[in-house]
Each structure stands twice: as C-alpha cells, then as structure tokens.
C-alpha cells in the first residue's frame, strides 16, 4: 500500500504546477500498452468505467475514478498524460518499464509491443492535451511564487 501511495505521489509531483504532460511518442506507446492497436489486443486488465465511457487499469488497484481514467476528452488531463507513470506490468512507455520483466499475465503482448517498429507506434492518433487558459493561469501562479 505504501508503494502505491509513493508511486501516485511521484506521478502527481511530475505534473507540477504547470500541468506538465509526457511527450507524444511516450503517450502513443502507453496507449498501445493499454489499448492495443487493432492488431495487438488490449491489456486484459483494461476495464470500462461504470461511471463514464472511459477506461481504467484494473491491475494497479486505483479503481474507477476521474483521475484514473487512462484517456479523456481533448483538453482534459488524463492518466496517460503524467510524465512519471508506473504500470503494474512494467510495460513499454511507462516510467518503470523493465525489458527483463515478463509477467505471466501479459508477457507475450509485452514482447510484441517491444518489437513494434517506431513507424507503427507513430500511427496512433493521440494528442498531448493542452488548455491555453489553464497554461496561462499556471504561468501567472508560477510568477507569483517566484516573486514571493
């Protein structure tokens, strides 16, 4: 339980005051690790939310909450946006990715994702959500903090 709390705290801290997001190639790889790509199936722990049309990880134990939904509407911060994010299966794209760890639950999928050429990963249509109004507000807050 302490480990989960620490991993969550690291993710939140990586977001920072400016809602920092991971880069597009990392988010594309995370997306494939969770949702598959049409050829590779989705992770067997991917669960549909009972409260929305979104999905969440059923393996990490965080549950079905707005801040645990993996992908949301454009402009909304989602779980796959966090710069620091761990996966219980240590899949490609995640901070704790370990090429030597193969979980019995999803080892073959992981190997297939690792072998994907970058051109295939780049085909995933995903954006790193941004909201100009929020970014302006965070810039103002950071200036206030710097001046105090």
Q: pLDDT, tens digit, for every residue of 6-65?
A: 888 888 899 888 889 999 999 999 999 999 998 899 999 999 999 999 999 999 888 999
Q: Give the number of domains in the chain.
A: 1
Provide the whole-model pTM: 0.80
Query: How buried is residue 71: exposed, middle or buried, by Cβ count under 10 Å (0-12/13-18/19+)?
Result: buried
Domain span at 19: 2-147
Specify the pLDDT at position 83. 96
Task: Confirm if 46 and 34 have CB atoms less than 8 A apart.
Answer: yes
Query: Is residue 91 scored above 70 in pLDDT?
Result: yes
Three-state SS at 24: helix
d(CA 21, CA 65): 19
* Strand (E) or helix (H) holding 11: helix 2-15
User: 121 phi and psi, to 5 degrees?
Assistant: -60, -40
Task: Confirm if 121 and 32 have CB atoms less than 8 A apart.
Answer: yes
With bands split at pLDDT 50, 70 and 90, how would you rate the model's confidence at 142? low
């Amino acid at each position: 339980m302490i480990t989960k709390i620490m991993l969550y705290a690291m993710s939140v801290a990586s977001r920072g005051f400016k809602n920092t997001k991971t880069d597009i190639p990392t988010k594309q790889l995370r997306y494939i690790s969770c949702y598959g790509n049409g050829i590779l199936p989705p992770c067997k722990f991917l669960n549909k939310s009972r409260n929305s049309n979104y999905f969440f990880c059923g393996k990490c134990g965080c549950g079905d909450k707005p801040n645990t939904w993996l992908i949301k509407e454009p402009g909304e911060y989602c779980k796959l946006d966090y710069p620091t994010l761990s996966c219980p299966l240590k899949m490609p794209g995640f901070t704790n990715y370990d090429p030597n760890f193969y979980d019995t639950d999803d080892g073959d999928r992981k190997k297939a994702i690792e072998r994907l050429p970058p051109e295939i990963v780049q085909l995933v249509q995903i954006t790193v959500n941004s909201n100009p109004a929020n970014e302006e507000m965070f810039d103002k807050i950071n200036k206030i903090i710097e001046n105090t």
